[in-house]
């Protein structure tokens, strides 16, 4: 079965293909005989009940010196696509939210991964709070007195913006650090959202595990170890990827959250685990599968496409909705 696949993503010429997950997903689709088409979120449009985009046919090459070729720009109705991968990076702002609303208008015959309504309802640092017993001590607030009280209780803390990515804007405040007020002033002068504050986990020095789940089941993992003098382990800020095996606790965490992810139609998810604690559930544009493939040989992209293809076969043969939550149409 050859599918027409649209990838909604950031400008392709800016990708670091050695580690880029969107590239890996597209490359695997192409190797399976599917036809790729690419557009950026700002090319998405609504007009008289129809959702379209101005994009280009796309060919990918697993060569960092020449990794893509695009065809002529064309306006296409997105209901003609079999699959749309929603893969632009956060920030999770109103532009991102608007894109989820537009994609949600597509008929059920176009399979959007991940389910746009649930991407909107489950930002990474908020969905995880549904599993508070798996998390480190955490609070979300703009109330200065409440934040100061949390710090007084836990001493060593991490401050994060709620809707950032790649480790941007993440700070560690040790007990003797006097910059709390200045940091909060900076955060709150730039946006109106609360912030997330968590107790610092010393186990992060041993690594921050990224586990990829497909259709609610773990398919691979890497360990990201922060460089010396850095509290953040994100690969974007210099964290180093290392091979890792899942522990009994990791499997337990996946078993707890997997059914919820599956029920929401969140097929492709990356979770972050430090020590015994779940810290984030990434649903917008999770990364890490190129590193997992290099260290373990596991092909997370292939597993995702197996699930997508099976869902579409079910739809075409039974004339029914996918066995994932149907979007409003």
The domain that holds 189 is classified in CATH as: 3.30.1490.20
Does the residue 131 lie in any domain? no
Segment 115-148, tens digit of pLDDT: 999 999 988 789 999 999 999 999 999 999 999 9
Q: For this structure, is 327 an active site residue?
A: no
Q: Give pLDDT, residue 229.
A: 64
Same domain, 193 and 171: yes
Q: What percent of the chain lies above the pLDDT cut of 70?
A: 91
Same domain, 196 and 217: no
Q: Is 185 exposed, middle or buried (0-12, 13-18, 19+ CB in 10 A)?
A: exposed
Active-site residue (options: 87, 120, 125, 151): 125
Same domain, 96 and 25: yes
Domain interval for residue 207: 203-306
Tracing tokens 């001493």 back to the chain, one arrives at: 155
Q: For this structure, is 303 an active site residue?
A: no
Exposure on the CB side of residue 222, measured as CA atoms within 13 A: 27
Does the residue 19 lie in any domain? yes
Same domain, 144 and 73: no
Active-site residue (options: 210, 262, 303, 327): 210
CA distances from 40 to 86, 200, 222, 305 (A): 10, 37, 29, 22
Q: For this structure, is 160 an active site residue?
A: yes
| Ramachandran class of 228: left when φ > 0, alpha when ψ lies in -120 to 50, beta otherwise | beta
How confident is residue 187, by pLDDT bands cut at 50, 70 and 90?
A: confident
How confident is residue 315, by pLDDT bands cut at 50, 70 and 90?
A: low
Q: Which of 59, 86, 117 marks a domain boundary?
A: 117
Q: Which of 117, 147, 165 marks a domain boundary?
A: 117
Structure tokens at 212: 């990829």
Does the residue 273 lie in any domain? yes
Average pLDDT over residues 30-53: 98
Q: For this structure, is 272 an active site residue?
A: yes
Same domain, 211 and 192: no
Q: For this structure, is 209 an active site residue?
A: no
Same domain, 111 and 158: no
CA distance 56 to 183: 43
- Number of compact structural domains in the chain: 3
Does the residue 227 lie in any domain? yes
- The CATH number assigned to the domain holding 212 equals 3.30.470.20
Helix/strand/coil (H/E/C) assignment for every residue in 308-326: HHHHHHHHHHHCCCCCCCC
């Amino acid at each position: 079965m050859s599918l027409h696949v649209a990838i909604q993503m950031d400008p392709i010429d800016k990708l670091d293909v050695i580690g880029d997950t969107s590239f890996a997903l597209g490359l695997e689709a192409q190797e399976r005989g599917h036809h790729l088409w690419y557009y950026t979120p700002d090319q998405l449009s609504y007009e008289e009940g129809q959702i379209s985009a101005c994009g280009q046919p796309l060919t990918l090459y697993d060569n960092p010196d020449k990794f893509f070729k695009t065809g002529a720009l064309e306006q296409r109705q997105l209901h003609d696509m079999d699959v749309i991968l929603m893969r632009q990076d956060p920030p999770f702002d109103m532009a991102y939210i608007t894109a989820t609303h537009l994609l949600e208008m597509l008929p059920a015959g176009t399979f959007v991964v991940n389910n746009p309504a649930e991407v909107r309802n489950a930002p990474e640092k908020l969905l995880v709070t549904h599993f508070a017993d798996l998390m480190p001590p955490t609070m979300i607030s703009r109330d200065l007195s409440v934040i100061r009280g949390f710090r007084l209780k836990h001493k060593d803390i991490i401050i994060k913006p709620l809707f950032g990515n790649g480790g941007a804007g993440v700070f560690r405040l040790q007990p003797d650090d006097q910059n709390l007020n200045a940091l909060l002033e900076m955060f709150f002068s730039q946006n109106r959202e609360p912030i997330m504050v968590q107790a610092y986990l010393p186990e992060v020095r041993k690594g921050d595990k990224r586990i990829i789940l497909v259709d609610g089941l773990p398919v691979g993992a890497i360990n990201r170890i922060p460089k010396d003098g850095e509290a953040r382990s994100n690969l974007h800020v210099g964290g180093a990827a290392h091979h890792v095996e899942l522990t009994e606790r990791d499997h337990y965490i996946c078993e707890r959250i997997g059914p919820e992810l599956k029920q929401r139609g969140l097929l492709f998810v990356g979770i972050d685990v430090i020590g015994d604690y779940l810290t984030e559930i990434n649903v917008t544009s999770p990364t890490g599968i190129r590193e997992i493939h290099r260290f373990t040989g596991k092909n997370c992209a292939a597993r995702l496409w197996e699930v997508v293809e099976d869902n579409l076969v079910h739809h075409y043969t039974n004339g029914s909705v996918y066995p994932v939550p149907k979007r409003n149409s």
